[in-house]
Structure 1
Amino acid sequence: MPDNNGEKARRNESIQKLWSMMKDIKVAMLTTAMKDGTLRSRPMMSQNVEFDGDLWFFTGKSTPKVNEIESSSQVNVSYANPKDNAFISLSGPVEFVEDRGIMQTFWNPEFEAWFPKGLKDPNLLLLKVHIEQAEYWDIPEGKMVGMFGFIKALATGDKPADVGENKKLVEKKGTLRPARATVRSTRRTTTKKPRKRVRSRR
Structure 2
Amino acid sequence: MANKSMAELAKKMRGLDLCLMTTVTSNGRLGSRPMSNNGEVEYDGTSYFFTWEQSRTAKDIAKDKHVQLNFRAEKQFLFVAVQGEATLTDDRDAMKEHWHKELEQWFKEGLDTPGLTMIEVKAKRVNWWGEDDGEIEL
Question: Fold match, TM over 0.5?
Answer: yes
Structure with greater strand percent? 2
Superposed CA offset, 1:43-64 (max 9, x none): 1111332112211111111111
User: Equivalences for 1:1-202 in 2 at 5 Å?
Assistant: 13-47=4-38, 48-139=40-131, 165-171=132-138
Q: For residues 58 and 93 of structure 2, what CA distance do their matches in structure 1 show?
A: 21
Choose between structure 1 and 2 for higher RCO, CA contacts under 8 A separated by at least 6 residues. Answer: 2
Count of paired positions? 136
Q: Which runs of 4+ in 1 moved over 4 A?
A: none
Distance 2:73 2:41 in 1: 18
Please give the root-mean-square deviation of Cα atoms over the aligned residues, in Å.
1.7
In 1, distance between residues paired with 2:41 and 2:33?
21
Q: Deviations over 1:52-92 (max 9, x none)?
A: 22111111111111111112110000110143110000011
Q: Which runs of 5+ in 1 are unaligned?
A: 1-9, 140-164, 172-202
Structure 2: distance between partners of 1:111 and 1:167 = 32
Distance across 2 between alignment mates of 1:83 and 1:53: 22
Secondary structure (helix, strand or coil) at the match of 2:35 reads strand
SS in 2 for 1:132: strand
Gaps of 5+ in 2: none
Which is higher, the Rg of structure 1 or of structure 2?
Answer: 1
Q: Is the 8 A contact 2:62 2:88 kept in 1?
A: no
